[in-house]
Structures are given as structure tokens and as C-alpha cells.
Amino acid sequence: MKIFSGLSNKSLSEKIAKELGQKLSELDIFIFPDDERRVRVRESVLDLDTVVIESTNKPAEKNYMELFFIVDALKRSGAKTVTAVIPYLGYQRQDHVFRDGEAVSLEVIVRTLEAVGVDKIISFDMHTPRIPELFKIPVIHLSAFSLFAEKIKKIDGKNGILISPDMGGIRRIKILSEFLGGMEYGSIEKNRDLATGHVEAEKITGDVKGKNVYLVDDMISTGGTILTACNLLREKGAKNVYVFATHAVFCKEAPQILKRSRAEKIFVTDTIGIPERNKFENLEILSVAGIVAETLRSK
Ligand code: R5P
């Protein structure tokens, strides 16, 4: 098996390769002045199983194009199979029509990944459980929950409650609760204005008073959901709030907003590479490299 990496999250790719006792295989990615890419595989992959690792976060379009070209180059060079490890699958929130006249952007991405010849997808904590069903090729849907559960147990797994910042995340919370031997859980009722993106949260199902609250989400984008949820949880008497989110999308002023939030600590993973300027004191980054390596070893 040979492992190739795109440019979006090379440090994670290097960690995965290291876990597997390998080096990343040689690949040239030349970027023209107008940002177009030229990709060239520099090792023989004839009749070999290959893996390409690329996160498709911002700029999603460029990262997706780069991924498509790497897969095409591998296929043209005779690779037997191409597994695409896409730790964060861009456009996953647009998986159905919310309002009349909208595109199903994720479906377009899925069809293109299949058309360029990807044989299998590996990804983490997708926005809805339905997403793998959009693919005709096999999808291995991994989760960072084992990493979160370990941390929660260390903080204080006894006097705690898991909270989802919106009702849509309740399935996620139930799974994590199972990891934690049936920890109590609840949810905030969040409303987002689709036109402005403004988030409001008013009610919580579950008693948070005097408890350590583990606020769990799939991703942090602008940070608005987490900020609003932390404020509400503190108002309702939560002792400490610890935030857990798999994907650090971190757009706009998210790091500044998170720094201002009333969370003790914010845990994210490295499914998306986080530049130094977006790191802050109470942010802890957990690596998913071991989980990906184990999956590649066994499947
Ligand atoms: C929404 O359904 C997601 O699970 C996240 O809660 C959301 O994408 C976070 O976005 P933001 O950080 O912009 O509030």
C-alpha cells in the first residue's frame, strides 16, 4: 500500500504514515500563478493499493480539485485501488434540499468522487448518518468519540452530563453516552436563521445545574453555536463547560469568539489542519492519526 498526501493537511498525513511505519509516497503538486494545479505521481503504483489523504475544508473547491487530480493521476498510473481518506468532507452540510430551488451540493461532490475513480472513502463524524448512503462506493464512517470519551473520563466522568447544542445532534450524543457507560445526556433547542446565520438558544432538556457539562458537536464553524450554548449553560447553573467538536472548521473570527466563550476547555481534532494563528490557550487538539492508521491496517 502506498500513501499519498494532498496539501491541505500534510501534518496529519505524515502522522498517519508514521503510525503505519511508512513514508509518504512522492507526488508533485505544482501550483500555477492562477492557482490551477498540476499533479504528477512520482512513484510506480502499477497494480498497487493506494491511499490519498486530503481534507476538503476551506478552500474546499481547491482542495477538492486537487484530490480529484491526485486520484486521476493514480488511476492513470495503473493503481489497483484508490482509497480516499477525507478526514473532513467539505460540503457535507448541504446533503439535501432545505428550501425549494437549492442545489444538493454534496451529491455533486459524491458523483464526482465516484466518476474520477475513488474505490473507497474513509471519513470522520459526518454531519448526518445518511451521508454514506449517498455514495455507491463503500464508505467507512469513523468517529473521534473514543478520543473524546477518554478525555471525559479523565476530567470527571461521574458528575457530568453530555449536551448537544441542537436537537439534530442528539443521535451523536447517544452514541457517546454509550461509550461512557450510559452517561446522562440532553440537548439545547437551537434556532438558526437560514438567511442571516444568527443563532438563538433558549431551552435545555436535561438538568445541568452544578454539573460538568460536555458540549459535543460535529464541527465548529463560526463559533456562534458554541458561544450561545456556553452562555445558556452557564446561565442555567452549569459548573464547568467542556466543548468537544471533531472538525475545527474555524472560519471568520471563530478562534476569537471561542476564546471569549465561557468554556473551560475546547477539544477538537486534527481532521482539519489548524494554523498557528488559530490556536489559543484553552484549545487542545487530539489526533485522529491512530484511528485512520488502524483502519487502513485492518480493511
Ligand atoms: C449544525 O447543525 C452543526 O452541527 C454545527 O452546530 C454548526 O455547523 C456549527 O456552526 P457555527 O460554529 O457556525 O455555529
User: Which grid cell is 34?
Assistant: 492562477
Tell me how crowded residue 157 is: count the other CB atoms within 10 A of its CB.
16
List residues bridging with 82 in a β-sheet.
50
Task: Return d(Cα 93, Cα 169) in angstroms, integer.
Answer: 13
- In this predicted model, what pLDDT tens digit does every residue of 177-226 receive, in sequence order? 999 999 999 999 877 777 777 767 678 888 999 999 999 999 999 999 99
Residue 37 vs residues 14, 65, 283, 288: alpha-carbon distances, Å: 21, 8, 33, 28
Task: Using DSSP bridges, classify how beta strands 37-41 and 49-53 pair: parallel, antiparallel or unpaired.
Answer: unpaired
Listed residue (54, 63, 2) closest to 31, CA to CA: 63
User: Which grid cell is 235?
Assistant: 446561565
- In this predicted model, what pLDDT tens digit does every residue of 115-153 receive, in sequence order? 999 999 999 999 998 999 999 999 999 999 999 999 999
In the Cβ-directed half-sphere of 265, how many Cα atoms lie within 13 Å?
11
State if residue 224 touches ligand 1 by the CB under 6 angstroms criterion. yes
Model pLDDT, residue 29 = 97
The fraction of the chain above a pLDDT of 90, given in percent, is 90
**For residue 132, how far is its CA from the centre of ligand 1 (angstroms)?**
20
Model pLDDT, residue 201 = 64
Tell me, yes or no, if the pTM score tops 0.85.
Answer: yes
State if residue 223 touches ligand 1 by the CB under 6 angstroms criterion. yes
> At which residue does the C-alpha cell 488511476 appear?
75
Model pLDDT, residue 189 = 86
Ligand 1 atom at minimum distance from 168 CA:
2
Q: Taking the CA atoms of the chain, what radius of gyration do you get in angstroms?
A: 20
User: Which grid cell is 280?
Assistant: 489559543
List residues bridging with 162 in a β-sheet.
185, 214
Task: Return d(Cα 294, Cα 54) in angstroms, integer.
Answer: 18
Ligand 1 atom at minimum distance from 227 CA:
14
**For residue 219, how far is its CA from the centre of ligand 1 (angstroms)?**
6
**For residue 64, how far is its CA from the centre of ligand 1 (angstroms)?**
21
**Residue whose CA is at the smallest distance from ligand 1 atom 5:** 219
State if residue 217 touches ligand 1 by the CB under 6 angstroms criterion. yes
Model pLDDT, residue 195 = 76
Ligand 1 atom at minimum distance from 199 CA:
14
**For residue 76, how far is its CA from the centre of ligand 1 (angstroms)?**
39
H-assigned helices in the chain: 10-19, 60-76, 105-116, 145-156, 170-179, 224-235, 254-260, 289-298
> At which residue does the C-alpha cell 473532513 appear?
88
Positions marked active-site? 190
Amino acid at 133: E
b/e burial code for range 136-156 (CB count within 10 A of at least 16 → b): eeebbebbbbebbbebbeeee
Low-confidence ranges of the chain (pLDDT < 50): none
> Ligand 1: which of 163, 191, 196, 219 to mutate, most ligand atoms within 8 Å of CB?
219
Phi, psi of 29 (to 5 degrees): -125, 105
State if residue 92 touches ligand 1 by the CB under 6 angstroms criterion. no
State if residue 225 touches ligand 1 by the CB under 6 angstroms criterion. yes
**For residue 214, how far is its CA from the centre of ligand 1 (angstroms)?**
16
Model pLDDT, residue 159 = 80
Model pLDDT, residue 7 = 98
> At which residue does the C-alpha cell 470527571 appear?
156
Listed residue (173, 220, 172, 174) closest to 199, CA to CA: 220
DSSP assignment, residue 26? Answer: P
Task: Return d(Cα 104, Cα 93) in angstroms, integer.
Answer: 10
